[in-house]
């Protein structure tokens, strides 16, 4: 009798998980650079999403094992592996969201811009394949320097005649995640409630947390603003130095990227209440690309939330003006990279 009731319970559990999970699992996600430090934990987190039906993992090496390993998790998505350029097109076919963490990470003493030469070529090649095989997909660029790799991706997509600025995103979620964590720690707030918008770009002083717009509303002394801003801007370097040559942020980055993927999938699925910060083509400022809070919808960026740039403090206003020349130069460098080598 005990055996029977256990069996019944198990069946019920399985039925329940099926009826809960099955109808929702319908989106295809590809991770390019899936065997890397970010790619692996990111793939694991995406494998846990009930919204994903297919998880396509691409890398130039070592991705077979990652996929075999992940495929044993009893969550709904089907994991497939794709190795090397000849399998890239198959990896991308019918994909809804493409996440790109391919490329080299920083070592101590390096800036994100030092990665330009290697990563610019990688992003260019991968985005060409995205344009050819899944031009309607949301594209999430993680590979640094994001301030330049997103303009590179935009130029590639334009050359291919498939650029939709509403669907190209530089992933800056980690800056928001860090800002939320550091502010909650400093102010003894419940983490779950804290929300700090981060605007600008994704490198050094171009990362601008708008602490005055923190929710719930909190007050900071001038010293606190200075300390928190600098810590958020240098948080990546904190990790690079702690890892002492073994790379940059991977686990917190995977967490942040998975959050952005999940938000994108919810938006695709019709959720009308999805907001994130991201680095996108924008006319909020005179710069052609700029990170700010956006509303996500079925077609990508549904609205750019410009209101947070109103009523900045003097400190924020100065920091905003100070970041513009650097961000502008990084954007121009990315655009020139593609236009000079058509």
Contact assessment for residue 81 and residue 54, using Cβ atoms and an 8 Å cutoff: no
Which H or E element spans position 104?
none
Which H or E element spans position 209?
strand 207-209
Among positions 129, 179, 253, 327, the unique one binding ligand NAI when judged by CB under 6 A: 253
151 binds ligand NAI (CB under 6 A): no
Q: Which is nearer to ligand NAI, 248 or 281 (CB)?
A: 248
> Measured between alpha carbons, how far is 283 from 306 in angstroms, rounded to an integer?
9
3-state secondary structure of 219: coil
Cα 184 to chain centroid distance, Å, stands at: 22
Report residue 15: phi and psi, to 5°: -60, -40
102 binds ligand NAI (CB under 6 A): yes
Q: Which is nearer to ligand NAI, 76 or 105 (CB)?
A: 105
Binding segment for ligand NAI (CB under 6 A), chosen from 56-64, 158-166, 189-197, 213-221, is 56-64
> Measured between alpha carbons, how far is 15 from 17 in angstroms, rounded to an integer?
5
Q: Shortest distance, CB of residue 205 to ligand NAI, whole angstroms?
A: 16
187-226 footprint of ligand NAI as x/- string (CB under 6 A): ---------------x------------------------
122 binds ligand NAI (CB under 6 A): yes
Tokens found for residue 257? 């990227």
Among positions 60, 205, 312, 320, the unique one binding ligand NAI when judged by CB under 6 A: 60
3-state secondary structure of 280: strand
Among positions 29, 30, 31, 35, the unique one binding ligand NAI when judged by CB under 6 A: 35
Distances (CA, A) of 143 to 8, 79, 237: 49, 23, 16
Residue 202 a catalytic site member = yes
CA atoms within 13 A on the CB side of 213: 22
Q: Shortest distance, CB of residue 37 to ligand NAI, whole angstroms?
A: 3
Question: Residue numbers of the site for ligand NAI (CB under 6 A)?
Answer: 32-33, 35-39, 59-61, 101-106, 115, 119, 122, 125-126, 142-144, 146, 171, 174, 202, 247-250, 253
Q: Which residues are catalytic?
A: 202
């Amino acid at each position: 009798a005990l055996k029977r009731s256990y069996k019944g319970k198990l069946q019920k559990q399985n039925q329940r998980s099926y009826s809960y999970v099955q109808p929702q699992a319908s989106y295809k996600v590809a991770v390019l650079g899936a065997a890397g430090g970010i790619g692996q934990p990111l793939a694991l987190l995406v494998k846990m999403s009930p919204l994903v039906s297919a998880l396509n993992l691409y890398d130039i090496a070592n991705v077979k094992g990652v996929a075999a390993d992940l495929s044993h998790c009893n969550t709904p998505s089907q994991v497939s592996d794709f190795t090397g350029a000849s399998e890239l097109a198959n990896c991308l076919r019918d994909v809804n969201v493409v996440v790109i963490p391919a490329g080299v990470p920083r070592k101590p003493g390096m800036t994100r811009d030092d990665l330009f030469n290697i990563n610019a070529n990688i992003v260019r090649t991968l985005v060409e394949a995205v344009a050819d095989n899944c031009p309607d997909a949301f594209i999430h660029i993680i590979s640094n320097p994001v301030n330049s790799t997103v303009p590179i991706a935009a130029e590639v997509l334009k050359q291919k005649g498939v650029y939709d600025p509403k669907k190209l995103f530089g992933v800056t979620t980690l800056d928001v995640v860090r800002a939320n964590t550091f502010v909650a720690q400093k102010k003894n707030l419940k983490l779950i409630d804290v929300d700090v918008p981060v605007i600008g770009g994704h490198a050094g002083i171009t990362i601008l947390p708008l602490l005055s717009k923190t929710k719930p509303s909190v007050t900071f002394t001038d010293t606190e603003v200075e300390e928190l801003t600098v810590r958020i801007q240098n948080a990546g370097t904190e990790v690079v130095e702690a890892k002492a040559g073994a790379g940059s942020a991977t686990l917190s980055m995977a967490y942040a990227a998975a959050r952005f993927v999940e938000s994108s999938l919810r938006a695709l699925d019709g959720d009308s209440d999805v907001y994130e910060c991201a680095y996108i083509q924008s006319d909020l400022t005179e710069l052609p690309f700029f990170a700010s809070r956006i509303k996500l919808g079925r077609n990508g960026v549904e609205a750019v939330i410009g209101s947070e740039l109103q009523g900045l403090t003097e400190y924020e206003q100065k920091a905003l003006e100070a970041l513009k020349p650097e961000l502008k130069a990084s954007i121009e460098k990315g655009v020139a990279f593609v236009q000079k080598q058509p």
